[in-house]
Structure 1
Amino acid sequence: MKRIITILVVAVFFGCQEKAEKITDSNDYDKYLSTHHTPSKDAVEKELQFWQTRFNNDSTHLMEMGRLSGIHASLFGNTGDISELKTSEKLIKKSIDVAARNKDSYLRSLAHNYISQHRFKEAQVLLDSAYLYPDNRKETEMMLFDVAMELGEYDRADTLLGKIKDTQDFNYLIRLAKWSDHNGNLDAAIKYLEQAKQIAETRDNRGFKLWIYSNIGDFYGHAGRLEDAYNSYLKTLELEPDNHYAKKQLAWMVYAAEKNTKEANRILDSLMVNHKAPDYYLLKAEIAEYEGNSSEVKKQNAMFLKAAQDSNYGAMYNTYLINLYAETEPEQALKLAAMEINNRATPETYQLLGYAQLKAGHKEAALKTIEEYVIGKTEEPKALFHAALIYKANGMDDKVAALKEELMGASYELGPVTAKEIDKL
């Protein structure tokens, strides 16, 4: 079954007034929008003070370095401050230098840090080194699967998935779901995630539940099960009231499904007080574009570019930059797309190259790119939308029509602005 399916909860009639069904209720989530109390961050900062004091007394102790690296990684998750992730990286590297035993554990920790930074090839090198050690190989195999998927090494990912197979294991099921989604089987992906959710709830494992509630919410959204998605995000916030990801997804739902731009911006504004991430500006820019506010679009895009220029981000925001530069500086978009393909050659990165080629006036090259590397290799709506634009530019109206029919069921995932563009295909 293809990933793009018809969304029944939100009826969108292209070319006419959009009808939005009410899904959310601010009474459900208002209590989570407080900007004065951040329980996750506050708890981590208290722990930081304790371990930092111990580390200052002896900076060679592995225990202190290990705890501090984890705390700084958590602070990155809680605040979005990229410097916290870089501090964590330095501490893990020092741990690797000092450690005489359990090297594989430190190698995996550094690989996890690099994955967060989108340094996938470097992470793979570290994991391959960790795999030489006899202990905890399954943990290494799981991470190697994650990296292989990011790098587009799908044969290796398939082999690794077979090595970790255990239908009673939460970590296996969530990876099997990712594999199923990659292969275009959204129903199977949701089935495996629901099995993982049952395990998380039966064990009452807070970490598992936080992961599954937020991630399965996304899959429910792709399937048009917006009520289920909404309830999953609320469950995430019940466990972690300052969970930034769930709040961002609520903002998207209010905007994309209900067309309530004022409320979407209210949620984002509260979120952005305590969590800093450049992509929030892009969402606000899209909302402004939907409202027809061109000056606000320029303002928010400029703020994104300024934030994303922090060298600490490295390649983390390349995909966003390619999409933005394709409209304004296509040659720069081409350079970034080439870099991104070098980092990870996947159908999703190749579709960005094709889009940049199209915007730079190289429509034949764009066509070659998508037909060789994209079509038949991904069901991602954004990739298929860009493919449709490329087909249209090359006068291939029959292929445009086929993709348009598929894309009309992806309005929630793509958002109202792109939905209007699909209507023009």
Structure 2
Amino acid sequence: MKKFITLVFVAVFFGCQEKAEKITDSNDYNKYLITSNIPSKDAIDKDYEFWQEKFKNDSTNLMEMSQLSRIHAALFGSTGNISELKTSEELIKKSYNVSARNKDVYLRSLAHNYISQHRFKEAQVLLDSAYTYPDNKKETEMMLFDVAMELGNYESADTLLGKIKSPKDFNYLIRLAKWSDHNGNLDAAIKYLEQAKQIAEERDNSGLKSWIYSNLGDFYGHAGRLKDSYNSYLKALELEPDNHYVKKQIAWMVYSAEKNTKEANRILDSIMVNHKAPDYHLLKAEIAAYNENITEEEIQYELFLKKAEHPDYGAMYNTYLINLYAENNPEKALKLAAMEINNRATPETYQLLAYAQLKVGHKKAALKTIEEYVAGKTEEPRALFHSALVYKANGMDKKVAFLKDELLGAGYELGPVKAKEIEKL
């Protein structure tokens, strides 16, 4: 089990009087919360106007279609508007059909789009097709590795990792880090990400630096190195002031580690002005639950459902929906969990199935799912928590006690609400 959090936080979460360490400072990030200043969105809009005008004159021109598909994907990243990603998908398909050359490029581009939509099996088919072309094999192999990890095809992922091995290559190192994390070696994962960071800094590539600072922030957080995590997030914001993901992670830190719910909500409110992804409402609902504001909690959950159930999102929010349905509509959660297993059969999706089975009342089936597909195959804290609930329902007190001891170190990742539930195991 990864030890995600320092003892001072364990003490806070589980009843000691010691105060939480102050990690963040609003003076560091306030300038990034100004909602009227969105430089990346402005640049994308100007780019869009230029290429859209050209596209009007020739709607079959590959250059224009390729540029517009890229811009619509960037607009999805900037706004969270799922229609932008769908428009990008259609433009890539049209480009593929029109093109006489470089078919593999369009196949990879469409696969990347499908990965964003959590359409992993479809992405696999596209990449297998791209791999039949003689050029750019390594690019395809890297994406095949990414999809294999999402689908739980770990033997294939291991083989692909061997094919792309290059110890001084940024793209190899970040995938080696992901593989190490999957195998429970968080220290090694951080080491490889830090090596990738050195490469990005030596190249002075702002895109790579922003990506690596953001991801290192996540991994430092997993390791309980919260100050390092925070500083890494700030570095990402220096390069990309509009990075909504990083700002959300800081909001989580303010809430989970510092228990400052007012400030966490302030950060979230600033993000939500321009970025419309559904999952912000989930965090606001959890904050409301922590504050014992049941009315606000219900409002935020309803807002999440209203957005996330839109057909265009497809399977993108299935894991969130399963957790939510399990509490108030377990039969629906069970059905959706079975669909998600078909989409990608990983230990993380199987633990959701087990949780839904438990909530329906099928505790023996839930135990079988945990024992066959989850136990010993993941150290993800939520999976361990749901495993503990299944063991408890089946009277397996020793296993519950063992997992409870492991989960005491996961308070930061799971948050204060779940920390209280862990205490009751």
- Alpha-carbon distance, 1:15 to partner: 4.1
**1:270-293: CA deviation from partner (whole Å, max 9, x where unpaired):** 000000110000000000000011
Alignment correspondent of 1:413: 413
Q: Distance in 1 between matches of 2:298 and 2:18?
A: 25
Alignment correspondent of 1:3: 2
**1:293-331: CA deviation from partner (whole Å, max 9, x where unpaired):** 111110000000001121110000000000000000000
Preserved CA contact (<8 Å) 1:15 1:420? no
Q: Distance in 1 between matches of 2:75 and 2:134?
A: 32
Q: Distance in 1 between matches of 2:79 and 2:40?
A: 10
1:370–1:294: structure 2 CA closer, same or farther, 3 Å change rule?
same
Q: Distance in 1 between matches of 2:361 and 2:318?
A: 21
- Alpha-carbon distance, 1:20 to partner: 1.2
Q: Distance in 1 between matches of 2:289 and 2:16?
A: 17
Alignment correspondent of 2:131: 131
- Alpha-carbon distance, 1:9 to partner: 5.6
Preserved CA contact (<8 Å) 2:41 2:75? yes
Q: Distance in 2 between matches of 1:19 and 1:388?
A: 28
Alignment correspondent of 1:98: 98
Alignment correspondent of 1:116: 116
What are the equivalent positions in structure 2 for 1:52-71 lying under 5 Å apart? 52-71=52-71
Alignment correspondent of 1:393: 393
**1:118-141: CA deviation from partner (whole Å, max 9, x where unpaired):** 000000000000000010000000
- Alpha-carbon distance, 1:8 to partner: 3.9
1:5–1:75: structure 2 CA closer, same or farther, 3 Å change rule?
closer
Alignment correspondent of 2:74: 74
Q: Distance in 2 between matches of 1:286 and 1:7?
A: 23
Q: Distance in 2 between matches of 1:410 and 1:272?
A: 28
Preserved CA contact (<8 Å) 2:4 2:412? no
Of residues 17-26 and 78-87 in structure 1, the stretch that sits farther from structure 2 once superposed is: 17-26
Runs of 5+ in structure 1 lacking a partner? none
- Alpha-carbon distance, 1:193 to partner: 0.2
Alignment correspondent of 2:157: 157
Alignment correspondent of 1:40: 40
Equivalent residue pairs, number: 424
- Alpha-carbon distance, 1:3 to partner: 2.4
1:117–1:13: structure 2 CA closer, same or farther, 3 Å change rule?
closer
Alignment correspondent of 1:250: 250
What are the equivalent positions in structure 2 for 1:18-29 lying under 5 Å apart? 19-29=19-29
Runs of 5+ in structure 2 lacking a partner? none
Q: Distance in 2 between matches of 1:213 and 1:9?
A: 25
Q: Distance in 2 between matches of 1:307 and 1:405?
A: 37
Match status 1:380 vs 2:380: yes
**1:158-217: CA deviation from partner (whole Å, max 9, x where unpaired):** 000000000100000000000000000000000000000000001001111111010110
Match status 1:195 vs 2:195: yes
Which secondary structure does the structure 1 equivalent of 2:60 belong to? coil
Of residues 264-273 and 10-19 in structure 1, the stretch that sits farther from structure 2 once superposed is: 10-19
Aligned residues: CA RMSD: 0.9
1:27–1:102: structure 2 CA closer, same or farther, 3 Å change rule?
same
Alignment correspondent of 1:240: 240
Of residues 329-338 and 18-27 in structure 1, the stretch that sits farther from structure 2 once superposed is: 18-27
Identity of aligned residues (%): 80
Which secondary structure does the structure 2 equivalent of 1:199 belong to? helix
Q: Distance in 2 between matches of 1:307 and 1:140?
A: 33
Matched to 1:345, the amino acid is A
Which secondary structure does the structure 2 equivalent of 1:398 belong to? helix
Which secondary structure does the structure 1 equivalent of 2:24 belong to? coil
What are the equivalent positions in structure 2 for 1:218-297 lying under 5 Å apart? 218-297=218-297
- Alpha-carbon distance, 1:17 to partner: 5.0
Preserved CA contact (<8 Å) 2:4 2:413? no
Of residues 270-279 and 16-25 in structure 1, the stretch that sits farther from structure 2 once superposed is: 16-25
Match status 1:306 vs 2:279: no
Preserved CA contact (<8 Å) 2:66 2:91? yes
- Alpha-carbon distance, 1:19 to partner: 3.0
Q: Distance in 2 between matches of 1:17 and 1:367?
A: 37
**1:229-280: CA deviation from partner (whole Å, max 9, x where unpaired):** 0001101110011110110000000000000000000000000000011000
